[in-house]
Amino acid sequence: MPSTLTGSEQAAEQYVSSVYESVIRRNPHESEFHQAVKEILDSLIPVFARHPKYMKHGILERIVEPERMITFRVPWVDDNGNVQVNRGFRVQFNSAIGPYKGGLRFHPSVNASIIKFLGFEQIFKNSLTGQPIGGGKGGSDFDPKGKSDREIMRFTQSFMTELYKYIGPDEDVPAGDIGVGAREIGYMFGQYKRIRGGYEAGVLTGKGIVYGGSLTRTEATGYGCVYFVNEMLESRGLSFQGSTVVVSGSGNVSIYAMDKATQLGAKVVACSDSDGYVYDPHGINLNTVKRLKEIERKRIREYVDEHPHAVYTEGCQGIWSLPCDIALPCATQNEIDADSAKMLVENGVKAVGEGANMPSTLEAIDVFLKNRVLFGPAKAANAGGVAVSALEMSQNSMRQSWTFEEVDAKLHSIMKNIYQNSVKASEAYGLPGNLVAGANIAGFVRVAEAMLAQGVV
Ligand code: NDP
Ligand code: 2IT
């Protein structure tokens, strides 16, 4: 078939594929990082074709290379007196538009590839929020499951005893992610404060309300995701009202996505954890999930003990076989593959909003876009969490705290802006309806302009 690409598009495509090949060569065996890079790079071909200046100044070669990648030993003593050793990570990916900002993940699957994919995504997500925050991410292969509270404290203190050297309110500001919530942030803040000998409230976000946290931060990612999906639905005259929703996961993002979807009149019929999923035809009882997960730290299978009409199924993948109008993947990366995406489409899904980071494989995204499913990509749809983290930093700098309603209103307007900017960018490059491309382009251009202005650094 003859190529329909113009000369400048061909040049851009060649340039992008040569950068992608070098990423694979220089970062072998990092499949998640390759996947995140591929998604962005493919979207940027029309941008380079139209603006060759970004190629000339090596923006892409620089943006795929972290400014700094730190790995460190985290030794700690468990409750049986045994020495345990975990590995800690922090990638400081890009500081063109602000201090590095991004969460910390504690999960046994954490490795350099996972941290780099998350840090890379964070650059563009943070840019989309319109806030002055660069991209970073960190974490450890520590598994918090089954650990006592004292073990969690000893581990997080040891982790911070190394990490503190690299972070600060104007340098790098971590927050939570999988396995890191208010409890872990509290212990890390305490240790940081003790080592530094000063009260630098803005060094971490997701703090407790009594010591500098922001109202609405706990809810922000899940609420923001639903606000974003709501914008997509409205563009086709649809709404959450009366719709059936399936939400994977039962952690922070999932719980508050379920909360807001329910507030907007939807019935959430299923949620999950890494063991399996529950289906409740009456609608998931959120008070039960919150108590089981936020307080008792139990498994989702225990939901059916209190709601006998609900059904628990072992294995988390099967949740995507449930018919629904709206699917919100809020657990982890690559949880929706092409087969799951096809099943969702066959069952009539109208919208997918990614609360988790990179929950859909590249093949699954193709299935959604080809079938004209409204698709809210992670870096746009889940940006509400980090956006409110940036608002927490602002409040800390001003030594003020805003009300829940004030922060929620700002979050809502940020999510609307992200939606509109993504739509505009997709249309400007001839890809209407493709918010994957729109979000990638809008996020990229702001960072690229800042990098151009700041010279080759
Ligand atoms: P939590 O630790 O609070 O919850 C994670 C949930 O996902 C749990 O239900 C967990 O089940 C499930 N899960 C984790 N790993 C897997 C896995 N490998 N397979 C199946 N299920 C899994 O984390 P969050 O809610 O904070 O994070 C969820 C997702 O949202 C992540 O992708 C995160 O990067 C992303 N995100 C988080 C933000 C935030 O503000 N917290 C902001 C933006 C994105 P189990 O308990 O069994 O492990
Ligand atoms: O993936 C994410 O955006 C987060 N885990 C939140 C990061 C933050 O700094 O609030």
Domain count, the chain: 3
Task: Render pLDDT for 343-364 as a digit per residue (tens, 0 to 9).
Answer: 999 999 999 999 999 999 999 9
In a domain, 13, yes or no: yes
Whether residue 42 sits in one domain with residue 154:
no
Ligand nearest to the CA of 354: 1
Residue 106's domain comprises 68-199
pLDDT in tens, 176-220: 999 999 999 999 999 999 999 999 999 999 999 999 999 999 999
**Same domain assignment for residues 75 and 36:** no
For residues 27 and 136, membership in a common domain is answered with: no
- Tell me which of 334, 359, 381 is where a domain ends: 381
Q: Could you say which of 35, 64, 93 is where a domain stops?
A: 64
Contact present, 271 and 284 (Cβ < 8 Å): yes
CA of 372 to the centre of ligand 1 (A): 27
Strand order in the sheet with 134-140: 68-77, 83-94, 134-140, 100-106, 172-175
Q: Check residue 426 and report its DSSP letter.
A: H
Residue 447 lies in a domain: no
Over the stretch 10-41, which tens digit does the pLDDT of each residue have? 999 999 999 999 999 999 999 999 999 999 99
Q: Is 177 in the pocket of ligand 2 (CB under 6 A)?
A: yes
Whether residues 88 and 59 fall in one domain: no
Q: Choose the final residue of a domain: 381, 413, 448.
A: 381
- Integer Cα distance of 301 and 316 in angstroms: 11
Say if 20 falls within a structural domain.
yes
Ligand 1 atom with minimal separation from the 355 CA:
30
> Is 102 a pocket residue for ligand 2 (Cβ < 6 Å)?
yes
Is 107 in contact with 179 (CB distance < 8 Å)? yes
Alpha helices for 352-434 (secondary structure H): 362-370, 378-381, 384-398, 404-428
Question: What Å distances lie between residue 355 and 170, 312, 402, CA to CA?
Answer: 28, 23, 25
Rounded average pLDDT per 10-residue block, the chain, 457 residues: 76 96 98 98 96 93 98 98 98 98 98 98 98 98 98 98 98 98 98 97 98 98 99 98 98 98 98 98 98 97 98 97 98 98 98 99 98 98 99 98 98 98 98 97 98 97
Residue 171, number of CB atoms within 10 A of its CB: 14
pTM score, two decimals?
Answer: 0.98
Are 315 and 371 contained in the same domain?
yes
Ligand 1 pocket member 356 (CB < 6 A):
yes
